[in-house]
Structure 1
Amino acid sequence: MSLAFDPTSAYDAAFSGKATQVVGDSGGHEPFEVGVWSSDPDWIDHALFIDPCDGATLDVGCGPGRLVGEIARRDVPAMGIDVSIEAVRQTRFRGADALLGDIFLEIPDEGEWKYALLADGNLGIGGDPSRLLARLREVLSPDGVVIAEVAEHGAGLVREERQLLVEGRLSVAFDWAVVGLDAIEAVAAEGGMRVIGTSSVGGRHTATMIPISP
């Protein structure tokens, strides 16, 4: 096996179509669903993420842009953000704005976004979901909304290190987290957010959150 390489380069390789798996703390492997994320959005994507967004929307960890691309086609102001050059390139190819960068750094129009999306497990970015939600409080308008995909009830809160295995090359480990329906209220509260509803469609689950008033 080749020497490890940085996760951003691994994401670029994965989004360019190279066979990729996610390796967890226990050594278990699961597929990195590039084909799903690169396809057109399905009815579940519409129900959970696309249809609710009627104002300026930020898609955090947008990947190849299937969600933000569709939202932009509805003439709703929208932008994706991702650390992968290839993901941003593909999102822009779909006709949507996309920023190459880190959500924890300054982004355009801070404090003005109406919606922030955390689809496909992206609530786990950085390994600290409460910190991520606290950051989104700064990004959103005072009446803003976070729509985050969560795991099934009973999954709890799991923090772990993950790696990407791309055609025999293993990336450097990075922090990730998984939040279940049973843990999201506590995680949200720690991040200064309040869960106002959950949805389950086609075996996928989301929590809708708003900032807690000072």
Structure 2
Amino acid sequence: MTTTTWPADPYSCALRTGKGPLFLRRHDGWLLPLEVERWCEAPDRADRSVLGRCRGTVLDIGCGPGRLVAALAAEGRRALGIDISPEAVARTARLGAAVLRRSVFDPLPAEGRWDTALLIDGNIGIGGDPAALLHRLRQVVSCSGRVIAECAPVDVDERCEVRVDDGRGGRGAPFPWARVGTRALAAHACSSGWEVCEQWALEGRSFLSLVPQSPAVACP
């Protein structure tokens, strides 16, 4: 998989204005609201619970408009955001954070040496295959590093094709996506060489912290 233009122009428009409405639309018409306004604001309490758990160098995967990587940069932390959306990259750069237009499946700087990788705001769904994404992160994160991933707040394990939809008739091209709850993410992590070291919830959002599996760990 290589870098391509983000397939959803309504997404770019929403980031320019910092406002929704914006949704992921499944083929059957089901809509998942996207929290554009929250993404474009300063980190909230749940975000800060993530930032407080970051260690060492931080790679923010699918950084969007950049609130997390910018907050880390403001603290003098070594952090890099990556995103395939040109508008997301531009907005992150305007916040003064380091950012590249890059897919996580492209070659990345410092592969194998990142201390923390972030998959926040549903980004465990990137590529439509959480296990494949977590396998890839074994190549990206150091042997003593961690992945902090946000899960769906419900018990779900879904792979589907979606489009970004602005609710007013504007729709982007289809792309693969996935949604997983905490139980499903823990299972995907185990099959991909990770184990859960912490789980927490705040402000209606759920998170897992993953570390490389020890040799003694066996998946159920």
Q: TM-score, normalised by structure 1?
A: 0.91
Q: Could you give the per-residue CA deviations for residues 80-128 of structure 1, whole angstroms, max 9, x where no partner exists? A: 0000111011111111100101100101111110000000110011110
What is the correspondence of 1:60-79 to structure 2 with a 5 Å cutoff? 60-79=61-80
**Aligned AA (1:36):** R
> Alpha-carbon deviation of 1:10?
4.1
What is the correspondence of 1:55-204 to structure 2 with a 5 Å cutoff? 55-153=56-154, 155-166=155-166, 167-204=168-205
Contact preservation (8 Å) 1:57, 1:115: yes
> Alpha-carbon deviation of 1:8?
4.7
Contact preservation (8 Å) 1:24, 1:162: yes
Q: Could you give the per-residue CA deviations for residues 66-93 of structure 1, whole angstroms, max 9, x where no partner exists? A: 1111011111100000001110111111
**Aligned AA (2:180):** V
The residue aligned with 2:218 is none
SS at match of 2:195: strand
Q: Quick one: distance in 2 between partners of 1:211 and 1:9?
A: 37
> Alpha-carbon deviation of 1:25?
3.1
**Aligned AA (1:149):** E
Matched, 1:11 2:11: yes
Contact preservation (8 Å) 1:53, 1:71: no
Gaps of 5+ in 2: 216-220
Aligned pair count reads: 208
Q: Quick one: distance in 2 between partners of 1:207 and 1:143?
A: 16
Gaps of 5+ in 1: none
Name the Cα RMSD after superposition. 1.8
What is the correspondence of 1:34-45 to structure 2 with a 5 Å cutoff? 34-45=36-47
Higher deviation after alignment, 178-187 or 123-132? 178-187
**Aligned AA (2:135):** A
SS at match of 1:158: strand
Contact preservation (8 Å) 2:162, 2:174: yes
Q: Quick one: distance in 1 between partners of 2:76 and 2:84?
A: 25
**Aligned AA (1:81):** I
Q: Using a 3 Å threshold, how does the CA distance of structure 1 residues 111 and 146 change in structure 2: closer, same or farther?
A: same
> Alpha-carbon deviation of 1:12?
2.2
Q: Quick one: distance in 1 between partners of 2:190 and 2:115?
A: 19
Contact preservation (8 Å) 1:57, 1:113: yes
The residue aligned with 2:34 is 32
SS at match of 1:170: coil
Contact preservation (8 Å) 2:8, 2:171: no
Q: Quick one: distance in 1 between partners of 2:14 and 2:163?
A: 12
Q: Quick one: distance in 1 between partners of 2:79 and 2:159?
A: 30
Write 1 or 2 for the structure with the bigger share of strand: 1
Identical positions, percent: 41
